A and B are shown apart, each in its own frame.
Chain A
Amino acid sequence: MVEERLLFRQRAARYFVILKSYMAQYLKTKMAYRTDFFVQVFSDVLQQAVNLIFILVVFSKVPEIKGWTRDEVLFIYGFFLVPFGIYSGFFNHLFDVPEKYVLQGEFDRILIRPINAWYQVVVETMKPELMVDIVIGIVIMVYSGRAMNLSPVWWDLPLALALIFGATLIYAGVYTALASLGFWTEGNIGLMPMVYNLSQYGRFPMTIYRGPVKFILTWILPFAFVGFYPAALLMHRYEFTGYALLTPAVGIICFTVAYRIWTAGIRRYRGTGS
């Protein structure tokens, strides 16, 4: 047991060093194309600006939407951007797996290196500059929190971290699972943009959705947990506390299942038992 723990610690340290090296590498690549780097960041900020404009313009016409005020909707959006930023930085480009890695055979290269394959793909495809969304999100949260006179309590911060952790795992899980399908389909089948658009539903209060949509967003593709549920709790609206507290558990389950699918996909790629 002790030995195992030691081994785990060594491995974690090694993987951290590798992450750092990849980051350094990435920065150097980006500095080779500096304009492009800034254009990329700029376009991302622009995208968020447009989303923000949308909310502000709508609320310039109506005082509230189904019981949610402008500041509350802004707060949800702000929270949403934090796990979304981590996802954009690290997991969005799992998108490349079906086409680039499986179809074009780049995965061979991954398999001849002594590091976990999933980890390698993530660090190879990350775009850490997109984490700029986290900053935007925090600014929006602070602004809207102040505007609605939210008084912080001591448990806000640890709770926020746990909720962000869970939400991030949901993203990681969903995208890992989708990427894994590439091992079977050997190419893109267009599911990723679909799921991406669905994830954007998490930016708004669940109360505006009708029919099976709420159910799907809670229990099937749990994007209600990446924005609305946890954000409601953090702004001290307690109607959805039960759901909000489930966020870390949903994240862990989601990622565990997804990672299983991933390993099954790799087994298929390597031709186990056929």
Chain B
Amino acid sequence: MALIEARGLTKEFRIFRRREGVLGAFKDLFHRNYRTLKAVDGIDFIVEKGEMVGYIGANGAGKSTTIKMLTGILVPTAGTMQVNGYVPYRDREVYTRGIGVVFGQRSQLWWDIAVIESFKLLRRIYDVSIDDFNWRLKRFNDILELDKLLYLPVRKLSLGQRMRCDLAAALIHNPAILFLDEPTIGLDVLAKSRIRDFLKEINREYRTTVILTTHDLGDIEALCPRVAIIDKGKMLYDGSVESLYSHWGQDKLEDIVKRIYQGHRPGSVKGVKKGGVGLA
């Protein structure tokens, strides 16, 4: 069994459409207009241990919803999934011990206290032994150069510094899978490359599986041999970055992705459309 195995994963939302004006608000009191939105529509997603997969798509394509299902936050409308031996939404409290999550837009650290204090609290939350904790902290320190940051409150950190700390925080319990939702958003070139190096190192050293959503294709080029592309809730492509180039006959990833988002579909991609293609 693969580490992540999701089949036919679907998520629908019911969206309540407000009517305009006072009269509309009044009507809404009695009868609401609902519209069903398929945010994720029957995708298959299989990932083996130690893989690094880039998960991309235009805004609103369904990336975040997929991540939220895989991390156990949302319950899928249909489909089956098993991750790290658990059903994420059902076994949430046990399952989440084995994963790390970083939301680029939102820090998990406590705003007003020194970073190290957040780490200590997370140690308790994830039940990490003091030896493991110290060892990992030292290791992260070596690569991310945290030591100057550890004693500052989060609000005093720059975005890049904060992200380095957030990454370390998400890995303090050595999770089998690391989910990253836009981890490089808003970072400068140097900060980005530092984060990429760290992820590579962690992946090599601990065989941590990494699932990463991003709008920066540089992240994909630097980190992910495999890329999955989602559009309007459907999986458009799931395979190696290399074969993506050969199918499209373009030499810049950005151009390929741009064309995909614009709705172009080359005939030759058909064969690789359905799940699990391009596994190592």
Q: Given the interface contacts A17-B124, A29-B112, does A270 sit within 8 Å of B96 by beta carbon?
A: no
In the complex, chain A residues whose CB is within 8 Å of the CB of B73: 108, 111-112, 270
Is A193 in contact with chain B by the CB < 8 A criterion? no
A residues 242-274 near B (Cβ < 8 Å) are 267, 270-274
Expressed in whole angstroms, the Cα–Cα distance for A109 and B92 within the complex equals 13
Expressed in whole angstroms, the Cα–Cα distance for A272 and B230 within the complex equals 23
Expressed in whole angstroms, the Cα–Cα distance for A274 and B11 within the complex equals 9
Expressed in whole angstroms, the Cα–Cα distance for A114 and B91 within the complex equals 10
Is A198 in contact with chain B by the CB < 8 A criterion? no
Per the CB 8 Å criterion, the residue count for chain B at the interface is 35
Expressed in whole angstroms, the Cα–Cα distance for A143 and B14 within the complex equals 58
Closest CB-CB distance, B118 to chain A, in whole Å?
A: 8
Expressed in whole angstroms, the Cα–Cα distance for A25 and B109 within the complex equals 12
B residues 166-223 near A (Cβ < 8 Å) are none
A17, A32, A112, A113: which has the most chain B beta carbons within 10 Å?
A112
In the complex, chain B residues whose CB is within 8 Å of the CB of A105: 106
Report whether A271 and B77 are in contact in the complex, using a CB–CB cutoff of 8 Å. Answer: yes
In the complex, chain B residues whose CB is within 8 Å of the CB of A114: 92-97, 125-126
Report whether A22 and B126 are in contact in the complex, using a CB–CB cutoff of 8 Å. Answer: no
Is A116 in contact with chain B by the CB < 8 A criterion? yes
Closest CB-CB distance, B123 to chain A, in whole Å?
A: 8
Closest CB-CB distance, B159 to chain A, in whole Å?
A: 18
Name the interface size band of chain A: 20 to 34
B77, B92, B106: which has the most chain A beta carbons within 10 Å?
B92
Expressed in whole angstroms, the Cα–Cα distance for A273 and B74 within the complex equals 11
A29, A116, A270, A273: which has the most chain B beta carbons within 10 Å?
A270
In the complex, chain B residues whose CB is within 8 Å of the CB of A21: 120-121, 124-125
Report whether A108 and B12 are in contact in the complex, using a CB–CB cutoff of 8 Å. Answer: no
The one of B71, B112, B114 that contacts A112, using a Cβ cutoff of 8 Å:
B71
Report whether B75 and A272 are in contact in the complex, using a CB–CB cutoff of 8 Å. Answer: yes
Expressed in whole angstroms, the Cα–Cα distance for A114 and B72 within the complex equals 11
Is A206 in contact with chain B by the CB < 8 A criterion? no
How does the 8 Å CB contact mask read for B75-115 relative to A, with 1 for contact and 0 for none? 10100000000000100111111010101001010101110
| Minimum CB distance partner of A25 in chain B | B121
Is B68 in contact with chain A by the CB < 8 A criterion? yes
Report whether A14 and B127 are in contact in the complex, using a CB–CB cutoff of 8 Å. Answer: yes
Report whether B101 and A112 are in contact in the complex, using a CB–CB cutoff of 8 Å. Answer: yes
Expressed in whole angstroms, the Cα–Cα distance for A274 and B13 within the complex equals 8
Report whether A113 and B89 are in contact in the complex, using a CB–CB cutoff of 8 Å. Answer: no
In the complex, chain A residues whose CB is within 8 Å of the CB of B71: 111-112
Is B145 in contact with chain A by the CB < 8 A criterion? no
Report whether B125 and A32 are in contact in the complex, using a CB–CB cutoff of 8 Å. Answer: no
Expressed in whole angstroms, the Cα–Cα distance for A33 and B14 within the complex equals 44
Report whether B92 and A111 are in contact in the complex, using a CB–CB cutoff of 8 Å. Answer: yes
Report whether A271 and B121 are in contact in the complex, using a CB–CB cutoff of 8 Å. Answer: no
How does the 8 Å CB contact mask read for B46-78 relative to A, with 1 for contact and 0 for none? 000000000000000000000010011111010
| Minimum CB distance partner of A120 in chain B | B125
Report whether B77 and A109 are in contact in the complex, using a CB–CB cutoff of 8 Å. Answer: no
A33, A111, A114: which has the most chain B beta carbons within 10 Å?
A114
Of all A-B residue pairs in the complex, the 5 with the closest CB atoms, nearest first, are A21-B124, A114-B97, A114-B96, A272-B75, A111-B73
> What are 20 residue pairs bridging A and B, where the CB atoms are less than 8 Å apart in the complex?
A25-B113, A25-B117, A25-B121, A28-B114, A29-B112, A29-B113, A32-B112, A32-B113, A33-B112, A108-B73, A111-B73, A112-B96, A114-B95, A115-B93, A115-B125, A270-B89, A271-B13, A272-B75, A274-B12, A274-B77
Binding site for B on A (CB under 8 A): 14, 17-18, 21-22, 25, 28-29, 32-33, 105-106, 108-109, 111-116, 267, 270-274
